[in-house]
């Protein structure tokens, strides 16, 4: 275990150096947070029927999404991409360590380090600064109960595990095709829409709910955020965890199978 921990912490420390990117990210994500809330609020005001999510829940959903955006598995590990392009991936295979495990550990670092850098200032902004500037209606509410907060913390762990398992599939796609730009576009769309980052999943038509809910992307942000705001009661925690971890298991199995298949027909670039 210690070796995987060493991989995570090394990569993590490296990523914490990118402070400028984090500051830029905070600004962009705050901006998008406002845009999304304003658009959604306009819909709420013109909507006369019952809404599956009230306004504070929706605001919490949006702000958590902006704060935890970096958890989403929308790209491949940039290091894996450059290793595959230059052929340095040969060194990765020359290590006495399970390759899937090592890359999974790297994924944990790339999903958590930028998130950590961004989520604290974003939360302070959305929770405490917004009311001060007269936008209290749009603020990020604290979880309505301790149970909600705890349940949220637990599913965030599952969300990271799930996101990393999906990141691994994108990494393996890089290993498979070398250039993954086209695939990334598909992955981004799938992940962003499927996770509820464009429109919160509860606002999709009722008939489509079961599809979104059963996809793995729901477990990455949608279900955790609704647990946070109490939109889903904390007692449903077990079901959400089951959804997340079954998907983690399936994606990991798929990734491992794919990797073992790929290493049998590996071609290393550049002599």
Partner 1 sequence: MGQIVVENLAKAFHIAERQAGLLGAIRGVVARKHREVRALDGVSFSLEAGELVGYIGPNGAGKSTTVKILSGILVPSAGRCEVIGRTPWKNRIEHVAHIGVVFGQRTQLWWDLPVIESFELLRDIYRVPQSDYIKHRDELIALLDLEKLLDSPVRQLSLGQRMRCDLAASLLHAPPILFLDEPTIGLDAVSKLAVRDFVKRLNRERGVTVILTTHDMDDIEALCTRVIVIGDGKILSDGTLADLRNRVTRERWLTVDLAEANGAIDDPDVTLIRREGQRVCMSFDPQRISPAALIGRITQKHAVHDLFVENPPIETIIAKLYAEGRG
User: Which residues are at the interface with partner 1 (CB under 8 A)?
Assistant: 2-3, 6-7, 10, 14, 17, 86-88, 90-91, 93-98, 102, 263-268, 270-271
Distance in Å, CB of 111 to partner 1, minimum: 18
Distance in Å, CB of 186 to partner 1, minimum: 18
Measured distance between the N- and C-terminal CA atoms of the chain, rounded to whole angstroms: 34
Please give the Cα distance from 182 to 175 (Å, whole number): 14
Beta carbon nearer to partner 1, 119 or 175: 175
Beta carbon nearer to partner 1, 49 or 96: 96
Beta carbon nearer to partner 1, 49 or 270: 270
Distance in Å, CB of 4 to partner 1, minimum: 9
Beta carbon nearer to partner 1, 17 or 48: 17
Distance in Å, CB of 172 to partner 1, minimum: 17
Distance in Å, CB of 269 to partner 1, minimum: 10
Beta carbon nearer to partner 1, 47 or 260: 260
């Amino acid at each position: 275990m210690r070796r995987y921990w060493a991989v995570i912490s090394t990569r993590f420390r490296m990523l914490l150096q990118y402070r400028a990117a984090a500051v830029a990210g905070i600004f962009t994500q705050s901006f998008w947070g406002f845009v999304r809330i304003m658009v959604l609020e306009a819909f709420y005001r013109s909507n006369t029927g019952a809404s599956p999510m009230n306004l504070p829940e929706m605001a919490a959903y949006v702000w958590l999404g902006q704060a935890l955006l970096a958890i989403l598995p929308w790209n491949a590990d940039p290091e894996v991409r450059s290793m595959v392009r230059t052929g340095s991936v040969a060194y990765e295979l020359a290590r006495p360590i399970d390759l899937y495990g090592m890359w999974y550990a790297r994924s944990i670092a790339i999903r958590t380090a930028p998130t950590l850098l961004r989520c604290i200032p974003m939360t302070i902004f959305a929770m405490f600064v917004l009311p001060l500037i007269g936008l209290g209606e749009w603020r990020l509410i604290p979880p309505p109960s301790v149970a909600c907060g705890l349940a949220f913390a637990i599913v965030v762990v599952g969300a990271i595990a799930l996101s990393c398992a999906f990141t691994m599939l994108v990494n393996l796609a890089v290993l498979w095709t070398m250039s993954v730009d086209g695939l990334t576009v598909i992955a981004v769309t799938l992940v962003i829409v499927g996770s509820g980052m464009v429109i919160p999943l509860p606002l999709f038509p009722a008939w489509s709910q079961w599809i979104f809910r059963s996809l793995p992307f729901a477990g990455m942000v949608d279900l955790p955020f609704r647990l946070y705001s109490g939109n889903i009661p904390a007692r449903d925690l077990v079901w959400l965890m089951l959804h997340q971890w079954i998907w983690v298991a399936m994606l990991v199995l798929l990734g491992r199978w794919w990797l073992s298949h790929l290493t049998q027909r590996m071609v290393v670039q550049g002599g």
